[in-house]
Structure 1
Amino acid sequence: MPLSPTASGGLRGAAAMTMLGCSTGVSAAFAGYPLLGGQALRYLLAAGLLVPLALRAAPGALRPTVREWGRLALLAATGLVGFNVLLVQALRHSGPAAVGSVVGAAPLLMAVLGPLLAGRRPGRRAVVAAGVVAAGAATAQGFGAGDAVGTVLALGTLGCEVGFSLLAVPLLPRLGPVGVSAWVTVLAVPMFAGAAALLDGRAALRVPDGSELAALLYLAVLMTCVAFLLWYRALELLGPERAGLFAGLVPITAALSGAALGEGVPRAGELSGAVLVGVGVFLGLRGRRPEPAGRSVPPSVGTGRTGDDGHAAVGAAAAGEPVAR
C-alpha cells in the first residue's frame, strides 16, 4: 500500500535530520581541514553527482531561469556559505548549547514565516507544535552561556538555516528536489572557493589524510546529495511548517548516536527533550496540511538517491561538535 503524503514526507524529513544529527563524529574528523577549501571540495564532489542526475531527470526542459538563478544564488550564499561560516564563528564566542538553543528555534520561525510568505496566516496548531519542538531541542542541548557577539552570530546562523528551506519552496514546483539540490551545490562551489582563495590563500587546500578523505566523501555523498534530496522532497510533501518540525531531531539523534558509540548515557535533559520533540511532531502532523508547497514530482525526480546536510541543520549538536551543512 502506498504511503500517504504525510507519512512519506515525514519519513524523508526524519531521515534527513537523523543523518545530520548522527554526523557529529564525521564533522569532528573533518574539523582539522581548512573550512572554506574543504567545503568547496565537498560541494564540488556533490555537484558532480547531482548535476548529471538533474539533467537526466529533466533533459533540456527544466533549467533555471535568470530569476531562478538569482534565488538559487541567494539560497547558496545564505543556506550553505553563510550558515557554515556563521556557525563556526558563533561557536568561537559561545558554547554549542547556547548556539544550538538559538538555532533550534528554526521550526518556530518556519511555522510563522512559511505561511506568511505564501500569503496566508500561520496556523495555530502548527505554531504551537513548532514551539514545543523548539523547546524540546533547547532542553536536549541545555541552554548554555555565551556573549553578545555569539548571540548575534547565532541569530544570523538561524536566519541562514531557515533560508535554506524557505528560499527553496518557490523553486520546488518547477525544478523539483533534484534540480534545486544540483544547482545550489554548483553555485556554492565558486562562493566557497573564492572566499578560500581570498582569506586563506595557499593554505585553503591540502591533501587530506585518510580519515579526512573518508569524512569528505561522507559529507559530499550522504550529507549533501542524499539528505538534500530527502529534505527538499519532504518540503514538497509537507510544506515548510510541518517539515520544519523534524529539525528538532538533530540534537536528539546526535545525543543518541553518541551514546551508541560509547560516549556516555544520554542525560535526563536529552531524554526530556526527545519526549517534547516527539510530542511536537505528533501535534504538528495530526493537522490537515493547509496548502501544497509545490507540485508532486515523479519518484525518479523526487527521491533519487545517488548520493546532503539536509544539508537542513538545527545548529550545534548536543555532543559539542558543530554540525556543518
Structure 2
Amino acid sequence: MAVVPLSPTASGGLRGAAAMTMLGCSTGVSAAFAGYPLLGGQALRYLLAAGLLLPLALRAAAGAPRPTAREWGRLALLSATGLVGFNVLLVQALRHSGPAGVGSVVGAAPLLMAVLGPLLAGGRPGRRAVVAAGVVAAGAATAQGFGAGDAVGTVLALGTLGCEVGFSLLAVPLLPRLGPVGVSAWVTVLAVPMFAGAAVLLDGRAALRVPSGSELAALLYLAVPMTCVAFLLWYRALELLGAERAGLFAGLVPITAALSGAALGEGVPRAGELLGAVLVGAGVCLGLRTRRPGRARAPRTGRARTAGGPVAP
C-alpha cells in the first residue's frame, strides 16, 4: 500500500504540537529539579544536550555552510535570550507571581508571533492569523486561570514573554542556511559558558553539587527530550509553518500540563482548563487554514534536508 506523504502544514503541525506537548508535560519534571542550583543546573543541562547535538551538527556541516560572523552574533543573542534569559526570568517571575499569573502573560506568545513574524519578514500580519492567535492566547490564559501578581512579577513575566518569542523569531533567518540541527546545536553550545560563567560569579562553589536520584532523572529528561528532541522538532516546525502559524502551538503548553497532571493523579482538569483546551484547539484549526502572509514558498527539498539533518523528512 502506497504511503501518502504529509503536507508541509500537517508535518509542521505534528512537530509543533509534539514539541509543545513535551514542554507542557515537563512541568512535574522541572519541579523535581527546582531544588538544584539554577545556574549550575542549567549549565549541566545544556552541556549534556550539546554533547548530543554537536556531533549531529558537525556531520550535517559536511554538506552545509558553517555560521558566518553575523550569524554567530544572532546565535549568541538567541542563546542569551531564548535559553539563558528565559530560564532565569521565569524562575524570578514565579517568585513574585503564581504560575497562573506568569502563564497568562507568557501565553500571549502566539499573538506576538502572529504580528511580529510577518513584520520582520517584510510582510503584513494576516487578519485571520491574528484572530486565531488571539483565540489561542485567550484559551491559554483561561486554562491558566488569569492569575495575578505584583508589579515586579508582571515585569519579569513580560521579560519572560519577550525571551520566549525571541527563541523563535531570532531563529527564523538562521534556519534556511543552518537548518534545525545547526541552530539547535550552536545555541545549546553557546548557552553552556553563559550559564557556567554566571554560576561561578554568582554562586561560586555552591553552583554545583551531586544531584539526588530524582534530580538526576529530571536533569536527563530536561537535557535529552526537552532540549535535543523538542528543539529539533520546534525549529523544523518553524521552517515548515512560519513563525505566525507555528506560534499557535505554544497555546498547548498549559493544556498538556493540566492533562499530564490529571494523568498522574493530581485531580481532574478544571472547567477553565477544559474551556481553554477548546479555545486553543479552535484557534489552532483556524490559524492553520490561513495562508502565510507574503510570497508563497514551495516546500524546500535537497538543501533543506541536508541542513535539517536526521530529523528532516
Q: 3-state DSSP class of the match of 2:309?
A: coil
Q: 3-state DSSP class of the match of 2:304?
A: coil
Quick check: 2:232–2:311 contact (8 Å CA) kept in 1? no
Distance 1:303 1:231, change over 3 A: farther
Work out the CA distance in 2 between the residues paired with 1:214 and 1:324. Answer: 28
Distance 1:300 1:132, change over 3 A: closer
Deviation, 1:288, is 2.1
Quick check: 1:37–1:204 contact (8 Å CA) kept in 2? yes
Deviation, 1:287, is 1.4
TM-score by length of 2: 0.92
Quick check: 1:236–1:296 contact (8 Å CA) kept in 2? no
Deviation, 1:59, is 1.4
Give the share of equivalent positions with the same residue, in percent: 92
Work out the CA distance in 2 between the residues paired with 1:103 and 1:112. Answer: 15
Deviations 1:10-58 (A, max 9, x none): 0000000000000111101111100000000000000000010011122
Distance 1:135 1:213, change over 3 A: same
Q: 3-state DSSP class of the match of 1:59?
A: helix
| Alignment match, 1:34 | 37
Deviations 1:187-225 (A, max 9, x none): 000000000001100000011111111111111000000
Distance 1:278 1:322, change over 3 A: farther
Quick check: 1:111–1:242 contact (8 Å CA) kept in 2? yes
Distance 1:186 1:148, change over 3 A: same
Deviation, 1:265, is 0.3
Work out the CA distance in 1 between the residues paired with 2:311 and 2:148. Answer: 19
| Alignment match, 1:299 | 299
Deviates more, 1:78-87 or 1:50-59: 50-59
Quick check: 1:90–1:150 contact (8 Å CA) kept in 2? yes
For residues 226-305 of structure 1, the aligned pairs below 5 Å read: 226-289=229-292
Deviates more, 1:203-212 or 1:224-233: 203-212
Deviation above 2 Å: which 4+ runs of structure 1? 294-306, 319-325
Work out the CA distance in 2 between the residues paired with 1:161 and 1:255. Answer: 20
Quick check: 1:88–1:322 contact (8 Å CA) kept in 2? no
Q: 3-state DSSP class of the match of 2:63?
A: coil
Quick check: 1:51–1:183 contact (8 Å CA) kept in 2? yes
Deviation, 1:322, is 31
Deviation, 1:297, is 14
For residues 1-325 of structure 1, the aligned pairs below 5 Å read: 1-59=4-62, 61-289=64-292
Distance 1:35 1:321, change over 3 A: farther
Work out the CA distance in 1 between the residues paired with 2:298 and 2:229. Answer: 17
Work out the CA distance in 2 between the residues paired with 1:299 and 1:142. Answer: 39
Distance 1:296 1:112, change over 3 A: closer
Deviation, 1:88, is 0.6
Unmatched tracts of structure 1, length 5 or more: 307-318
Deviation, 1:61, is 3.8
Quick check: 1:27–1:321 contact (8 Å CA) kept in 2? no
Q: 3-state DSSP class of the match of 1:299?
A: coil
Work out the CA distance in 2 between the residues paired with 1:323 and 1:255. Answer: 29
Quick check: 2:180–2:308 contact (8 Å CA) kept in 1? no
Quick check: 2:136–2:280 contact (8 Å CA) kept in 1? yes
Distance 1:321 1:54, change over 3 A: closer
Distance 1:103 1:177, change over 3 A: same
Deviations 1:233-287 (A, max 9, x none): 0000000000000000000000000000000000000000000000000000011
Distance 1:38 1:323, change over 3 A: farther
Distance 1:323 1:246, change over 3 A: farther
Deviation, 1:303, is 14
Work out the CA distance in 2 between the residues paired with 1:322 and 1:271. Answer: 36
Deviation, 1:62, is 1.9
Deviations 1:117-171 (A, max 9, x none): 0011100011000000000000000011111111011000000000000000000
Deviates more, 1:55-64 or 1:206-215: 55-64
Q: 3-state DSSP class of the match of 2:277?
A: helix
Structure (1 or 2) with the greater helix fraction? 2
Quick check: 1:96–1:321 contact (8 Å CA) kept in 2? no
Work out the CA distance in 2 between the residues paired with 1:27 and 1:242. Answer: 27
Work out the CA distance in 2 between the residues paired with 1:323 and 1:24. Answer: 25
Deviates more, 1:254-263 or 1:207-216: 207-216
Distance 1:324 1:100, change over 3 A: farther
Quick check: 2:174–2:183 contact (8 Å CA) kept in 1? yes
Quick check: 2:25–2:257 contact (8 Å CA) kept in 1? yes
Deviation, 1:323, is 24
Work out the CA distance in 1 between the residues paired with 2:113 and 2:207. Answer: 35
Distance 1:223 1:299, change over 3 A: farther
Work out the CA distance in 2 between the residues paired with 1:82 and 1:283. Answer: 32
Work out the CA distance in 2 between the residues paired with 1:169 and 1:190. Answer: 24
Distance 1:253 1:74, change over 3 A: same
Deviations 1:58-93 (A, max 9, x none): 217421111000000000000000000111111111
